[in-house]
Amino acid sequence: MDKERESSPSTNRKRDALENESMTVARRSEKFWFDDGSVVLQVESVQYRVHRSILASYSPVFNDLFRVPQPEGDRSGWVDGCPTVCMAGDTTRDWESVLGFIYKPSSLALKWPDVGRLAGMMRLGKKYQIDDIFAEALARLRAQFPRTLAARDAMTAGGNMELCEWISKYFQVITRLGEEMGLWSILPVAYYMAASYEENIPSFILYYRNLSPNSMRSVAHGTAAIWDDVVSRSFRWTKPTELTIPTISCASKPKCTAARTLALAEVCAKVGKQDAGIALDVWKRGAGCEFCAECLRAAQTACEGGRAYIWDHLARYFLGDNWEKLEDTKSDVLPAIWRPR
Ligand SMILES: [Zn+2]
């Protein structure tokens, strides 16, 4: 008897499965299944019972879709009294990003947000014309990429570890999203930060194995170009052949000459290790590197000048265009460095 009772629903389920395979293999989302929901979205094999009115208020695509009258009497494919819409080609990850933002916007961190979620919001935001969600994700992503050196310094005032770790964690997602959406101007800082966080370029390449060929080309080209300006601009004053330090009126020339030699050794060590952080970090003297006040000022001025120059040229090093050009370049036009030559 027991066996019969057990087998009966199972047989029914098999029959249902034959009638509609996609419906029976689907499972209900635990996070987004609302008892008062009025439509079931099926994405891959997960079903979300959500609200038509809310989706329609965000997206003209859904608004139009829900206005199409349902054929009378045909309720095949309905789940729990709700019509089901299959979202072909979408992923559950992207939909959960969008639904998470719609139903609980506070779950998306303001600072150092999950870029995977931002990517989902932008992808579906674009596909279904959910402009508010696309714009929100874009604004949050851009907020992590300062446009001026002063803004970057303010952002990294307590050290740049948080920015480094955030970029390192999401680097491949950021570059994929940047390339997919044509967000060219976020890429130079991402390339620079990821490359400077790794010990050297070979270890960078080994670590980010799934980087696109375009991004790989940008990092290789950009880091090589940066070194030229680090040596010839920011730290040119450390060379014995330069006449910047000791300054003409320096009162302790032997001491300042010794400090300059020490600074040169430190720069050489960083160049040798390909520690690209030296390009945009504020210069800090090593222990024992003692200059008189005047020579220190001259060295700091040279370093700051070099740092500002490198920041201004960051877009050119990595993508071959200047910042303004990158901002204006349309998403379907590739940056100069990626164009076929
Ligand atoms: Zn001096």
User: What number of H helices and E strands is found in the chain?
Assistant: 15, 4
Give the residue from 222, 229, 224 showing the smallest Cα distance to 314.
222
- Cα 157 to ligand 1 centroid, rounded to whole Å: 29
Cis amide linkage into residue 202, ω under 30° from 0: no
- Cα 159 to ligand 1 centroid, rounded to whole Å: 29
pTM of the model: 0.84
- Cα 250 to ligand 1 centroid, rounded to whole Å: 4
Q: How many CA within 13 A on the CB side of residue 269? A: 7
* The pLDDT value given to residue 2: 40
Q: Which amino acid would we find at residue 249?
A: S
Q: Where in the chain is the domain with CATH 3.30.710.10?
A: 17-66+75-108
Query: CA quadruple 340, 185, 236, 258: dihedral positive or negative?
Result: negative
pLDDT averaged over consecutive 10-residue blocks of the chain (341 residues)? Answer: 41 46 74 96 96 96 88 78 93 97 91 95 96 96 92 87 90 95 94 84 83 93 92 95 94 96 92 86 87 96 97 96 90 92 77
* The pLDDT value given to residue 70: 73
Q: Which amino acid would we find at residue 160?
A: N
Q: What residues have their beta carbon closer than 5 A to ion ligand 1?
A: 246, 250, 256, 292, 295
- Cα 263 to ligand 1 centroid, rounded to whole Å: 14
Q: Which amino acid would we find at residue 65?
A: L
- Cα 292 to ligand 1 centroid, rounded to whole Å: 4
The bridge status of strand 84-86 relative to strand 39-43 is parallel
Give the residue from 227, 263, 233 showing the smallest Cα distance to 245.
263
How many other β-carbons are positioned within 10 Å of the β-carbon of residue 277?
Answer: 14
Please state, in angstroms and rounded to a whole number, the distance separating the CA atoms of residues 91 and 124.
10
Q: How many residues does the chain have?
A: 341
* The pLDDT value given to residue 24: 53
Q: Which CATH number fits domain 17-66+75-108: 3.40.50.300, 3.30.1780.10, 3.40.50.2000, 3.30.710.10?
A: 3.30.710.10
- Cα 196 to ligand 1 centroid, rounded to whole Å: 31
Rg (CA), the chain: 28
